[in-house]
């Protein structure tokens, strides 16, 4: 079972490769959104922020690269079928499940099945591999590193005075402490940055 816990410190579920965060509640249904970012830090903390903004959710790492525990992965759920106790959360919080050796297009059906029982599912992807709705997250660097004009995205300021070159929500400044907590497997108890992610669920993403 992908257990969740209301404890704020990280809990590592060695059996099912889940980093587990808690402390925030939610009962609505939000569906499935994938998140992609060219920035290595945002590619990790952005999916966590989106998942945490609604309370209880499942984050699936299809992009890989995160140091999750060994054990059952999404690929195992595809090959063996999910057990009954893996289809829904047992407690409030955000659970993170490794993708394993599986392509996004092959993972789509099982993720849709999980989404029918979880309040929200966030899929961490790289590039445009996900066949469903994807939220691009772009850093707003100044000067020569400023992003070119593009379509809708979630924009993360890294310096003051940089305007987004396209539509989409602009997040509050990402504090260093919030970044350290998320990368260390700890969910901040209060965060304007995480709360700002909730609006993303109600926007139309291609």
| Residue 39: pLDDT over 90 | yes
pLDDT at 51: 94
For 11-198, CATH gives 3.40.50
What does the block give as tokens for 25?
Answer: 């509640």
pLDDT tens, position by position, 172-189: 999 999 999 888 888 887
What percent of the chain clears pLDDT 70, i.e. is strictly above it?
84
Residue ranges per structural domain of the chain: 11-198
Tens of pLDDT, residues 135-172: 999 999 888 887 787 889 999 998 777 788 889 999 99
**What confidence category does residue 206 fall into, taking pLDDT thresholds of 50, 70 and 90?**
low
* E strand intervals along 30-189: 31-36, 57-61, 94-98, 120-124, 134-140, 154-157
DSSP state of 170: B
E strands in the chain: 11-13, 18-21, 31-36, 57-61, 94-98, 120-124, 134-140, 154-157
What is the reported pLDDT for 42? Answer: 96
User: Mean pLDDT, to the nearest integer, of 27-35?
Assistant: 83
Mind listing the pLDDT tens digit for each residue in 111-143? 998 988 899 999 999 988 888 899 999 999 888
């Amino acid at each position: 079972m992908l257990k969740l816990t209301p404890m704020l410190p990280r809990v590592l579920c060695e059996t099912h490769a889940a980093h587990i965060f808690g402390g925030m509640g939610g009962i609505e249904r939000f569906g499935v959104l994938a998140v992609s970012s060219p920035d290595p830090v945002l590619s990790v903390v952005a999916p966590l922020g989106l998942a945490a903004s609604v309370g209880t959710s499942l984050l699936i790492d299809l992009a890989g690269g995160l140091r999750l525990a060994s054990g059952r992965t999404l690929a195992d759920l595809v090959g063996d079928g999910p057990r009954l106790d893996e289809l829904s959360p047992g407690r409030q919080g955000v659970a993170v499940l490794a993708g394993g050796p599986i392509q996004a297009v092959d993972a789509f059906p099982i993720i849709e099945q999980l989404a029918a029982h979880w309040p929200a599912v966030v899929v961490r992807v790289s590039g445009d591999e996900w066949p469903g709705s994807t939220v691009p997250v772009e850093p707003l660097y100044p000067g020569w590193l400023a992003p070119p004009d593009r379509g809708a995205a979630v924009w993360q300021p890294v310096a003051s005075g940089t305007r987004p070159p396209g539509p989409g929500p602009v997040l509050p400044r990402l504090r260093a402490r919030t970044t350290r907590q998320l990368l260390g497997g700890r969910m901040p108890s209060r965060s304007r940055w995480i709360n700002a992610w909730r609006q993303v669920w109600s926007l139309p993403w291609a």
